[in-house]
Amino acid sequence: MKLSYNTWAYSSFFVWVPAYTLDDTIARIAKIGYDGIEIGAAAPHAYPPHLSADRRAQIKDLLQQHDLKLSSMLPAPSGGPGNNPASPYIEERRATVEHYKELAEMVALWGGKTLIYLPGWTIFGTSRRQAWAWSREVLTEVADSIAHTGVTLVIEPTTHDTNLCVSADDAIELMQDVNRPNVKLMFDTFHVLWNHEVMTDYAYKMGADLKHIHMSDNDRLPPGRGVGDWPALIDALLDIEFDGYLTMETGFHRRGIEPDEDARVSLEFLRPLVAEREALRGIKPNSK
Amino acid sequence: MKLSYNTWAYSSFFVWVPAYTLDDTIARIAKIGYDGIEIGAAAPHAYPPHLSADRRAQIKDLLQQHDLKLSSMLPAPSGGPGNNPASPYIEERRATVEHYKELAEMVALWGGKTLIYLPGWTIFGTSRRQAWAWSREVLTEVADSIAHTGVTLVIEPTTHDTNLCVSADDAIELMQDVNRPNVKLMFDTFHVLWNHEVMTDYAYKMGADLKHIHMSDNDRLPPGRGVGDWPALIDALLDIEFDGYLTMETGFHRRGIEPDEDARVSLEFLRPLVAEREALRGIKPNSK
Amino acid sequence: MKLSYNTWAYSSFFVWVPAYTLDDTIARIAKIGYDGIEIGAAAPHAYPPHLSADRRAQIKDLLQQHDLKLSSMLPAPSGGPGNNPASPYIEERRATVEHYKELAEMVALWGGKTLIYLPGWTIFGTSRRQAWAWSREVLTEVADSIAHTGVTLVIEPTTHDTNLCVSADDAIELMQDVNRPNVKLMFDTFHVLWNHEVMTDYAYKMGADLKHIHMSDNDRLPPGRGVGDWPALIDALLDIEFDGYLTMETGFHRRGIEPDEDARVSLEFLRPLVAEREALRGIKPNSK
Amino acid sequence: MKLSYNTWAYSSFFVWVPAYTLDDTIARIAKIGYDGIEIGAAAPHAYPPHLSADRRAQIKDLLQQHDLKLSSMLPAPSGGPGNNPASPYIEERRATVEHYKELAEMVALWGGKTLIYLPGWTIFGTSRRQAWAWSREVLTEVADSIAHTGVTLVIEPTTHDTNLCVSADDAIELMQDVNRPNVKLMFDTFHVLWNHEVMTDYAYKMGADLKHIHMSDNDRLPPGRGVGDWPALIDALLDIEFDGYLTMETGFHRRGIEPDEDARVSLEFLRPLVAEREALRGIKPNSK
């Protein structure tokens, strides 16, 4: 099983400082020992309007030099542009469609296969059915537009952050409603724990459609530092033959976190655990 | 002394839900009894690229209908676009200049006079002097470009969020370096308290150049709910003849806050306190 | 990498009791196993006006007898004399210049190479630019006056204690402004952690100009007893080829701390950690 | 009963920032409504070597202009010079004698009558009897030297800070040993509470010899904010016909305290309490 680290902790989203260039971030994450990197589309790293073709080519080279794979990308929701596919404002929904399309191009350029889709949230005054319909439209249009890229969109339910697609069931239903071959599923353990649900339930429910996962203990602590049942989760992922990246999405939520430490601590906890659970099934560990 | 409420708590910045339309937000803030509203340039409220001319006119009407004055506006920093004037990437700095220019037009259209300038933060690898130079250039260009609007930029030092302009001294120096008649000062009490400094020191240091203020107790609690010495601050503002808006910037930092309650609690604490301190000087209270 | 212990915990600064003679302190610190000692210029240890030539010679002998190297010295700021180079009172600034010159003579006499320079703090009513100018003048004059001693001044930024030179950037700028070969840099991990910044950032930013370091976990706990990421810091210091003393500055901030214990606990944590990190790079550990 | 405020909170002793000039401090303390001010001999306020004759005259004028009486002065112990009368080093003891003599001259010049004597602390290796003898010698010499000034030395026992003269009994014994008409007593409620003793016991034991008092709740909180039994203490002071100043010595022990607030809160608590207790005895309140 491969490990990836999300770049928020090194960027200015959510917390503005400390922040490092994407060059620095790639070097550090690779040095710490990760297989992959999940790049968030936020300044100063990867906000599409800020990246020239040359810069995009440069990033591609950096990834290769450091032998770091792009596990995935995702937009930075909210903030100025919002990127809420369920917004009552058509301007925001249109801009969100275009943003996802740009991101898919970047994912493909950098050799990745996975783009996280955040279904959005209802603004008070919008019925949930209307918001759902809008989000489904956006997702469908994006999925069709990017079919040529080979990139798969993975729907992320979020309990703490939103109110539209919050559970495994919600995500499954949205995937079914959209019904496209390049639309699959993911989940984020932080959100499962925040809503006091069971992490393995999500794995088994999503099954073969689970293509990506965000790993975080409660309170955005690195996995292993909180209450999550990590051995059980790894076993469940092995059961369903999950072959995506275990991607840490931690260390970005408050001032005072050292990103390198956050990344290292997660790796030091998960690598041995994954190796141990795999060994029990006769699977050789990932050699990196 | 007039009271205003910042819209973050009703928007999707920082926390995505709950979120209300700007229409709803204006109505609620007016109903609670505020004199003014500080509109943050975030979806779903006021991200310039999403607002057509008609929509902008509509918002102007809404403010008038509800007898709510636009005290100020500010950008939503970080997130996707960043809006960091000290970014090492010229694309981000140029976009930030344009963003501030657009915001100044919106402030003027809606009858306001104050636009908050966030000087930005250094990305690791950029020297502080270089970051300062970039920020000064952006601020100078923006100030000159918007001179015709009658809008004043107010520099906000932030200890918790940034590392470039963090103290009263930093803000004063930046204002002096830029040296434009439409560039003045503000401060945010949350940041003063976070750095364990004295709120009245900021008021006295900034003196006649202090045109705006963000009010928040420690930990973004409504004023009065924490350790801040509010009587002393009001007295200091009266001493320096501050004539801007006391603007609450609270209630947006975590899930679970009810925006109306946050707004109401602050007003219920500050109105009587302001009236009491003004009465001691023979000043009649604001009649709203 | 060599370890040193600062004498505050054994002196009457900050906390008056318990207090030990410098003779006693040297013996204890040597016995615990330190390579060096950092002597603070406070009674009853090393306040220059109290030390006759004979006493100074005696201290030199004591250091040699106990095979303890003088890693550094520093003044006791504030208290009666203040020693604030940014004081608005010329009497205090002149006295501070003379004090640093005396300390440099003592450092040289006792075989040391490093004297810590505390840039001072602004008194309310002094602009930060004026305070900076005064501190720069003091530092420049001291640097030139002591050029013959072979002692290097190291600028210490302090977030918790001051408001003039608080960050790595501030210290770097002051060093650049003064521009003397015998003026370099240091940092104190307590201050980095207090301001919720990243310790390794300071090391990398200061690079080859980093000549000294104060080690302390959050809240002046001995390294290892708090939240600091010590492996990462040691690695960063090895990366930049730091060849100064890791100097503990702990145990002095409240009544009830046993100095010997504070010294021993830090050593027991750091010696093995340093050895481990050095071994990973094929460096033989310090033999003491 | 008259109220005074000690200047440490406005100085750089113990905590370096925030700090205000003595001019500013006198103005603020007077404005808040105090009868008197207790000036600590620390930079940037009143370190004798830094004060020219002109400056001393200026301070005298400032006190008169603001109608603020000098209730007392005290040295800043420890730090560089130590000022420990029980020091094993004769240089420090001699310097301490001279320092107290200078302070007495300043007290007299500024119209005060009270100078606090801190008996000092034993350095490990000095027997308590030897330390006591040294302190008694210093106190005796100082008392005789300043007899012409009309200033009374008041011995302050301190439990938290020292180990030589810590209780009411210690102070009484030292006064008896020295046996001079201008050597009397005081106590500090913080130290009484810290050692879990009874405040009124100190008042009754010291009786007519009690000429001064430091007021502080536990943990250096302003009186009224902690566990101290203030009505009982005021009653006891009235019983013994105490006619000195109730002098707050708070607000100086950690970063983050706003001095004006600390001063104001104490006054707002004590004035009404004193007036109430005095009224019960038919004493008219102090008219300031």
For residue D55, what are its two tokens?
């400056």
Phi/psi at C183 (5° precision): -125, 115
CA separation for the pair D144, D180 (Å, rounded)? 8
Q: Which burial class, exposed, middle or buried, applies to D205 when counting CB atoms under 10 A from its CB (0-12, 13-18, 19+)?
A: middle
Chain B partners of A91 at a C-beta cutoff of 8 Å? 49-52
Phi/psi at D76 (5° precision): -90, 105
Task: Give the model's pLDDT for residue D286.
Answer: 64
Q: What pLDDT digit, counting tens, does each position of B226-284 carry?
A: 999 999 999 999 999 999 999 999 999 999 999 999 999 999 999 999 999 999 999 88
Q: Under an 8 A CB cutoff, do A123 and B21 touch?
A: yes
C160, C163, C209, best to mutate vs chain B, most B CBs in 10 Å:
C163
| Closest by CA position to B44, among listed A136, A100, A92, A96 | A92
Sign of CA dihedral A157, A161, A163, A164: negative
Shortest distance, CA B81 to any CA of chain A (angstroms): 6
DSSP letter assigned to residue C201:
H
For residue A81, what are its two tokens?
């542009």
Residue A247 pairs in a beta bridge with: A4, A214
CA separation for the pair A257, B209 (Å, rounded)? 35
Q: What pLDDT digit, counting tens, does each position of A254-278 carry?
A: 999 999 999 999 999 999 999 999 9
Task: Give the model's pLDDT for residue A78.
Answer: 87
Shortest distance, CA B53 to any CA of chain C (angstroms): 44
Task: Give the model's pLDDT for residue A92.
Answer: 97
For residue D94, what are its two tokens?
């001699």
Query: Which among C18, C24, C124 has the least Cβ separation from residue D18?
Result: C124
Give all chains having 3 or more CB-to-CB distances under 8 Å with chain D: B, C
Reply yes or no: is the peptide bond before residue C18 cis, omega within 30 of 0: yes
Q: Which burial class, exposed, middle or buried, applies to A80 when counting CB atoms under 10 A from its CB (0-12, 13-18, 19+)?
A: buried
Chain C partners of A258 at a C-beta cutoff of 8 Å? 198-200, 229, 232
Could you tell me where the DSSP H helices lie in chain B? 22-32, 53-65, 90-109, 128-145, 168-178, 189-194, 199-206, 230-239, 259-279
CA separation for the pair A20, A45 (Å, rounded)? 8
Model pTM score: 0.95
Average pLDDT over every residue of C89-110: 98
Model confidence at D218, in pLDDT bands (50, 70, 90)?
very high
Report the number of secondary-structure helices (H) and strands (E) in chain D. 9, 8
Answer yes or no: is D236 within a domain.
yes
Query: Which among C127, C163, C173 has the least Cβ separation from residue B129?
Result: C173
Answer yes or no: is D286 within a domain.
no
Average pLDDT over every residue of A77-86: 93
Query: Which among C127, C163, C201 has the least Cβ separation from residue B124?
Result: C201
For residue C8, what are its two tokens?
């505050």
Please give the residue of chain D at the shortest CA–CA distance from C15. D161
Residue C214 pairs in a beta bridge with: C188, C247
For residue D2, what are its two tokens?
């008259």
Q: Under an 8 A CB cutoff, do A21 and B124 touch?
A: yes
Residue A271 pairs in a beta bridge with: none
Q: Under an 8 A CB cutoff, do B199 and D258 touch?
A: yes
- Chain C: residues touching A (Cβ < 8 Å): 196-201, 229, 232
Domain that holds residue A275: 2-279
Please give the residue of chain D at the shortest CA–CA distance from B195. D256
Number of domains in chain A: 1
Answer yes or no: is A285 within a domain.
no
CATH number for A122: 3.20.20.150
Q: Judge whether residue B287 has pLDDT over 70.
A: no
Q: Are A115 and A79 in contact (CB under 8 A)?
A: no
Task: Give the model's pLDDT for residue C79.
Answer: 85
- Chain C: residues touching B (Cβ < 8 Å): 122, 124, 127-129, 163, 167, 169-170, 172-173, 197, 201, 204-205
What does D78-115 look like in DSSP terms, one character per residue? BTTTB--TT-S-HHHHHHHHHHHHHHHHHHHHTT--EE
What residue ranges in C171-263 does DSSP mark as E strands?
Answer: 183-188, 210-215, 245-248
Answer yes or no: is D70 within a domain.
yes
**C-alpha count within 13 angstroms, C-beta hemisphere, residue A12:** 29
Q: Under an 8 A CB cutoff, do A258 and C199 touch?
A: yes
Answer yes or no: is C287 within a domain.
no
Number of residues that make up chain A: 288
Q: What pLDDT digit, counting tens, does each position of A156-191 carry?
A: 999 999 999 999 999 999 999 999 999 999 999 999
pLDDT above 90: percentage of residues in chain D: 96
CA of C152: how far to CAs of C71, C148, D78, in Å?
11, 11, 27
Do A and D share at least 3 CB pairs under 8 Å?
no
- Chain A: residues touching C (Cβ < 8 Å): 18, 255-256, 258-261, 264
Q: Are D16 and C86 in contact (CB under 8 A)?
A: no
Query: Which among B128, B172, B205 has the least Cβ separation from residue C169?
Result: B128
Chain C partners of D82 at a C-beta cutoff of 8 Å? 12, 42-44, 47, 50
Average pLDDT over every residue of C59-81: 96
Q: Judge whether residue B288 has pLDDT over 70.
A: no
CA separation for the pair D84, D93 (Å, rounded)? 7
Q: Are B13 and B79 in contact (CB under 8 A)?
A: yes
Answer yes or no: is B221 within a domain.
yes
Q: What pLDDT digit, counting tens, does each position of B64-104 carry?
A: 999 999 999 999 988 899 999 999 999 999 999 999 999 99
Chain D partners of B199 at a C-beta cutoff of 8 Å? 258
What does D264-276 look like in DSSP terms, one character per residue? HHHHHHHHHHHHH
Answer yes or no: is A37 within a domain.
yes
Q: Judge whether residue D278 has pLDDT over 90.
A: yes
Answer yes or no: is D9 within a domain.
yes
Please give the residue of chain B at the shortest CA–CA distance from C163. B167
